[in-house]
Amino acid sequence: MASFNYRTTVIGKEYKTEYEITDRLAKKFLQSLYIEDEESWQSELPYSIFLTYHVWNNTIGNPVPGTIHLKQKNENFKRAKIGDRFEVTVKVKDKYQSKGRDYLILETSFNKEGTLYCIENTTYLWGFANG
């Protein structure tokens, strides 16, 4: 896992990881959505399978205490299937200060064999409630 320092990290910096849709992950994910008919999702999973902190925590580490997840925008292009393995890029799209507070925007893309499945833009208020 990379070490993320808000102050020294530059806009455009990229972090890489992989995300595999295992049978176990899909089953737990579907259970969290109260979907009991797992057979109906054997071919394609809901787009929300990409909404995970796992890839961010694997690349930049856990956010500092007090970080607030403000908003997230997702563009989905193709559904994932059980067994899919994605190359994930988490990019520091922007960081800025407003009213003395630090903001961070991450762009996360999920690609498989050169095909873009999902792109997310997430905005954080970085370390706001941390003292």
The CATH number of the domain holding residue 71 is 3.10.129.10
**Is 29 or 12 the better-scoring residue by pLDDT?**
12
List, for residues 113-126, the tens digit of each pLDDT value.
999 999 999 999 98
Whether the per-residue pLDDT at 131 is higher than 50: the answer is no
Does the residue 20 lie in any domain?
Answer: yes
Residues 6+ apart with CB under 8 A from 128: 66, 67, 68, 101, 102
- Domain holding 21, by residue range, is 14-125
Distance of CA 8 to the CA centre of its chain: 21
Residue 48, CB half-sphere, CA atoms under 13 Å: how many? 6
C-alpha separations of 15 from 18, 39, 43, 84 in Å: 11, 35, 30, 20
Number of domains in the chain: 1
